[in-house]
Amino acid sequence: MYRIINGAYLSDQETTNTIKELSKLQAYHDLMEVLSKELGTPIKNLKVKKAYQLNAKGERKDEGETFFTTKSLTLTDTNESLVIDFSDVHYESPLLDDVVLISGSIFKNVDDNTKLQKVFTVTEDGIEVTLKNLVAEAVLEGLYLEENLPNDPGFKAGVYNEDAVETAAWYDFCAPGGYQHCGSGCG
């Protein structure tokens, strides 16, 4: 499990810069190509659903206690049937490599009570596809509830003042739709 020490929503300029960083990644273009083929149409007019940055302290089985900074961005189409998640994780430990996580999800209604989520996760070996049946729209909406995230106007990436505001992840599983704010089951 990890604990958010401090964080803030990205400003408009920081969000624009993060989108530019994302658009420079070949993995992002590969993902968009696969998603476009899956949807049968080019992907246009994505909007920002969430843009956030945080400093956190976590426990890793292989490294013990570690500090890291994450910048995350969630993009979606107008009806939220397509969601793109991007996280850029920087570890303070020289023993851990920084990680960029990119995934996309396509949601389709199967019937009134069931949605199918097709998750496309960028890996070193290409794009891995996972299917998930999500029962009951109310359950799906409940899984995407926002945590009470700190929004410190004086936030500075890489400053780990443990007396600052903190939010502990209350669950012990990976959030749906890829890495977002996960419990201890996440890498």
Domain ranges of the chain: 2-152
Cα distance between residue 20 and residue 175, in whole Å: 25
CA 175 to each of CA 13, 15, 125, 163: distance values in angstroms, whole numbers, following the listed order: 27, 22, 23, 27
Average pLDDT over residues 120-131: 94
Res. 163 pLDDT band, cuts 50 70 90: low
Question: What HEC string does 36-86 produce?
Answer: HHHHCCCCCCCEEEEEEEEEEEEEECCCEEEEEEEEEEEEECCCCCEEEEE
The tens digit of pLDDT for each residue in 33-85 reads 999 999 999 998 999 999 999 999 988 777 678 899 999 999 999 888 899 99
* pLDDT at 179 (0 to 100): 44
* pLDDT at 119 (0 to 100): 94
* pLDDT at 135 (0 to 100): 60
Task: Say yes or no to pLDDT of 134 above 80.
Answer: no
Closest by CA to 180, choosing from 112, 85, 96, is 85
**107 in Cβ contact with 81 (< 8 Å):** yes
Element (H, E) at 15: helix 12-23
Window from 30-34, 98-102, 149-153 with minimum mean pLDDT: 149-153
Closest by CA to 67, choosing from 82, 54, 51, is 54
Res. 112 pLDDT band, cuts 50 70 90: confident
